C-alpha cells in the first residue's frame, strides 16, 4: 500500500467515525481542513503525508465527540498499524492530534511540530469567518445553548475544564471566549493573513446581533 492508498484508507476510517456527525465536525469540515492544510504547506516545508493524515484524523479522538478517548486512540493506532504506517510516523501524527485543540492551549500550550502548527492553523481557521459563524451556531444549538443573554458575560482566563462546561456559555459569548482569540494564536503568517478578514466578518456579525437583540 503506497502513501496515497494509505491516505485514502485513513479518509474512509475517519468517515466511518464522523460520517453522521451533527456538531459541525463532519466530513465537510475534515475536507476543508485538509484543503487548507495543503494550502498552508504549499512550500512543502512540512511532511505532506503527516500533515494530511493528521488533518484527516484530528477529530477522531476529540473529547468533545467521544467519551472513551483511550479506546478512540487505540482504535486509531490499530488502524494505522494495520495499513502499515511506520511507528515513527504514527508518533508524529498522534503528537499533533493529541495536542492541537484550542482546549489544550488554555493551560501550558503544547509546542507543536511544523506539521502540527500547519494542521492546527487549518483547523482553527475553519472555526472563524462565515463557516465559523455557522458552525458555532450549529454546535451550540446541538448542545441546547442560549443564543445570547446580555446578563451572562463572557468568561475570562478559562481553564480547560471551565471551557468545556457549556452550561456557563452562550453562543455569542463563545465568540469572545474562543473565536475572537484565534487570529492572534495562529502559527503561520499565511494563516494570520486569512484570519484578518474572517475576524472582521465575525465582529460585524456579533455587533449586528447585539444591535438587533430585543
pLDDT tens by residue, 38-93: 999 998 899 999 999 999 999 999 988 898 999 999 999 999 999 999 999 999 99
Residue 10 makes CB contacts below 8 A (sequence gap 6+) with 53, 56, 57, 79, 80, 83
Residues in contact with 18: Cβ distance below 8 Å, sequence separation at least 6, in sequence order:
25, 26, 27, 30, 59, 60, 65
Q: What sign results for the dihedral spanned by CA atoms 67, 136, 155, 123? A: positive
Grade residue 209 by pLDDT with cuts at 50, 70 and 90: very high
Span 171-204, pLDDT tens digits:
999 999 999 999 999 999 999 999 999 999 999 9
pLDDT of res. 167 = 86
pLDDT computed for residue 43 by the predictor: 84
- pLDDT the model gives residue 64: 86
The pLDDT tens digits of the residues spanning 94-133 come to: 999 999 999 989 988 999 999 999 999 999 999 999 999 9
pTM: 0.95
Has residue 151 got a pLDDT over 90? Answer: yes
Helices and strands counted in the chain (H then E) = 11, 0
Angle at 67 between CA 33 and CA 7, to 5 degrees: 35
User: How many whole angstroms from its chain centre is CA 162?
Assistant: 18
pLDDT at residue 184, as a whole number? 97
Backbone dihedral region for residue 24 (phi beyond 0: left; psi -120 to 50: alpha; all else: beta): left
Residue 199 pLDDT:
98
pLDDT of amino acid 99? 96
Residue found by looking up cell 502559527 in the block = 187
**With 90 as the cut, is the pLDDT of residue 140 above it?**
yes
Domains and CATH numbers, the chain: 3-212 (1.10.3210.50)
Quickly state the pLDDT bin for 147 (edges 50, 70, 90): very high
Amino acid at each position: 500500500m503506497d502513501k496515497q492508498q494509505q491516505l485514502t484508507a485513513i479518509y474512509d476510517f475517519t468517515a466511518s467515525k464522523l460520517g453522521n456527525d451533527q456538531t459541525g465536525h463532519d466530513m465537510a469540515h475534515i475536507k476543508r481542513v485538509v484543503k487548507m492544510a495543503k494550502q498552508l504547506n504549499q512550500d512543502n516545508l512540512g511532511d505532506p503525508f503527516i500533515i494530511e493524515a493528521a488533518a484527516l484524523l484530528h477529530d477522531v479522538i476529540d473529547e468533545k465527540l467521544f467519551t472513551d478517548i483511550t479506546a478512540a486512540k487505540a482504535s486509531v493506532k490499530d488502524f494505522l498499524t494495520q495499513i502499515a504506517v511506520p511507528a515513527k510516523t504514527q508518533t508524529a501524527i498522534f503528537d499533533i492530534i493529541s495536542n492541537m485543540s484550542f482546549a489544550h492551549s488554555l493551560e501550558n500550550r503544547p509546542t507543536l511540530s511544523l506539521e502540527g502548527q500547519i494542521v492546527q492553523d487549518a483547523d482553527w481557521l475553519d472555526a472563524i469567518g462565515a463557516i465559523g459563524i455557522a458552525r458555532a451556531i450549529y454546535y451550540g444549538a446541538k448542545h441546547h445553548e442560549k443564543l445570547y443573554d446580555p446578563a451572562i458575560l463572557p468568561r475570562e482566563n478559562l481553564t480547560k475544564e471551565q471551557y468545556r462546561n457549556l452550561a456557563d456559555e452562550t453562543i455569542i459569548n463563545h465568540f469572545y471566549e474562543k473565536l475572537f482569540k484565534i487570529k492572534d494564536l495562529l502559527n503561520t503568517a499565511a494563516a494570520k493573513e486569512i484570519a484578518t478578514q474572517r475576524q472582521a466578518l465575525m465582529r460585524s456579525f456579533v455587533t449586528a446581533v447585539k444591535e438587533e437583540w430585543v
